[in-house]
Amino acid sequence: MGCYRRINTYRRITVVNRILPGLAMLLGVYLVLSFSTASGQNYKVGDQVVVIEDAELKSKVSGKTIVDEFWPGLVLTVTNIKDQWLRVSNGQSGWLNQSKVIQLNRQAIVRMTVKIKADPRNDLLYNGRADVWKHLGEQGSAIEDLGEAIRLNPLAAYYTNRGSIWNDDGNYDRAIKDFNEAIRLDPVYSWSYGNRGDAWKHKGEFNKAIQDYSEVIRLEPKFAGGYNSRGNAWKSIGKYDKAIDDYNQAILIKPTSAGAYKNRGSAWSNKGEYDDAISDYQKTIELEPNLAFGHNALAWLLATCPDSKYRDGEKAIATATKACALTAWKNADFIDTLAAAYAESGDFNNAVKWQLKVIEILPERDKDDYKDSLRLYQSGKPYHQEKR
């Protein structure tokens, strides 16, 4: 998985020690809201919420205080709840007072639109509404809003944001064009290189991806995400030892990086080192028990491992079910893992049922990739990965 995403509405107020714009939520910081309103909403783990009022964010970096402001539009995932506070994730975790957010739904668009009508030349609001549109699956509307933000204020961040939507939509050439423009506008804006690296990776041009991730590391040597992403690129071309070296560095920089542990576990698995893989997946879950990707990775190995010694269909079902529940049964890849787990346990009726669900919710362009597994389960056979 890539470590780069659209930059949310953001401004630096006080900088004692420079950090990369857009990385505030990647520092495990606390969101301190500027004033209170009544929430009146009941949240649960796994919900996505939208910051709907200006918020002040404070963090400690190397013992120094950094203060950032966020405008409306930041989309976050709830990973824990304590009284009026939500622990949220946007790559890493922090705490936020729930009085300043609303559920991610059409009402968030309504609220953002009211703000834009009151301040129609505020480029940050268009950028924020674009992020909400994206999370609601309205890519065209998101692109339109970012186009307006660029017209009002052609920032590198807005080109990067729009490019990342093209990335999500599989339009990698248009994405690269936007990232190129962002880099022209701001050659030291490392998020543009990181996102362009993701586009190159999706196009199968891994050497170009590695070059861009290496530039991220040069610009931000203490940013774990650069090493994590370069590790993913090395892994994609079978350079597992180089990938593990990069994941090790990411973990050294940020020992709480669940994503780096998960990705290193995948590299161990690809090398056939399944004990190490399971250990890293378990550490991923320990660090972020309410984020689904660790549960899914462990379940996939338990269900499909080439070595039968490590397969356990019943444990795989329980672990995959947890991943699906944490993502409200909307993630096709996690449901695909659940289907594989049922097949490994010998319950092919449920394997077929859930594989059909996978195909139902996937976009048309991706459906064929999952039909082979369906035919396998219909014939009463489980799916196992091939030995490497």
Q: Are residues 318 and 273 in the same domain?
A: no
pTM above 0.85, yes or no: no
3-class SS at 46? Answer: coil
**pLDDT band with cut points at 50, 70 and 90 for residue 338:** very high
Around Cβ 224, how many Cβ atoms within 10 Å? 24
Q: Are residues 329 and 259 in the same domain?
A: no
Q: Are residues 339 and 373 in the same domain?
A: yes
Residue 90 domain-assigned (yes or no) = no
DSSP-assigned states of every residue in 352-380:
HHHHHHHHHHS-GGGGGGGHHHHHHHHTT
| Cβ 313 vs Cβ 342: under 8 Å | yes
Handedness of CA 211, 212, 218, 222 (dihedral sign): negative
Q: Are residues 282 and 316 in the same domain?
A: no
Q: Are residues 383 and 341 in the same domain?
A: yes
The tens digit of pLDDT for each residue in 283-295 reads 999 999 988 999 9
Q: Are residues 272 and 299 in the same domain?
A: no
Residue 166 domain-assigned (yes or no) = no
Q: What is the CATH number of the domain that holds 310?
A: 1.25.40
Kindly state the average pLDDT of the residues 126-145.
96
Mean pLDDT for the chain? Answer: 86
Q: Are residues 318 and 252 in the same domain?
A: no
Greater confidence, 121 or 12?
121
Q: What is the CATH number of the domain that holds 252?
A: 1.25.40.10
15 pLDDT above the threshold of 90: no
3-class SS at 61? Answer: strand
Residue 273 domain-assigned (yes or no) = yes
Cα(206)–Cα(215) distance, rounded to whole angstroms?
Answer: 14
Q: Are residues 302 and 380 in the same domain?
A: yes
Q: Are residues 328 and 277 in the same domain?
A: no
Residue 235 domain-assigned (yes or no) = yes
Q: How many domains does the chain have?
A: 2
Kindly state the average pLDDT of the residues 337-355.
98
**pLDDT band with cut points at 50, 70 and 90 for residue 45:** confident
Q: Point out the domain boundary residue: 273, 290, 307.
A: 290
Residue 113 domain-assigned (yes or no) = no
Residue 368 domain-assigned (yes or no) = yes
Across 5-14, 121-130, 257-266, least confident range: 5-14
Q: Point out the domain boundary residue: 237, 272, 290.
A: 290
| Cβ 320 vs Cβ 334: under 8 Å | yes
Cα(311)–Cα(313) distance, rounded to whole angstroms?
Answer: 6
- pLDDT reported for residue 34: 31
- Domain range for 233: 223-290
Greater confidence, 81 or 338?
338
Q: Are residues 319 and 282 in the same domain?
A: no
Across 313-317, 324-328, 333-337, 346-350, least confident range: 324-328
Going by their DSSP bridges, the two strands 93-97 and 85-89 should be labelled as antiparallel
Exposure string for 326-340, b = 16+ CB within 10 A, e = fewer = bbeeebbebbbbbbb
Q: Point out the domain boundary residue: 250, 269, 290.
A: 290
- pLDDT reported for residue 381: 97
Kindly state the average pLDDT of the residues 36-52.
74
The tens digit of pLDDT for each residue in 219-277 reads 999 999 999 999 999 999 999 999 999 999 999 999 999 999 999 999 999 999 999 99
Residue 100 domain-assigned (yes or no) = no
57 pLDDT above the threshold of 80: no
Residue 300 domain-assigned (yes or no) = yes
The tens digit of pLDDT for each residue in 72-91 reads 898 888 888 988 888 877 65
Owner of token pair 């009402």 = 107
Distances (CA, A) of 346 to 323, 333, 378: 21, 20, 12
Q: Are residues 296 and 350 in the same domain?
A: yes
Across 43-57, 280-294, 298-312, least confident range: 43-57
| Cβ 136 vs Cβ 103: under 8 Å | no
DSSP-assigned states of every residue in 88-123:
EESSSEEEEEGGGEEESSHHHHHHHHHHHHHSTT-H
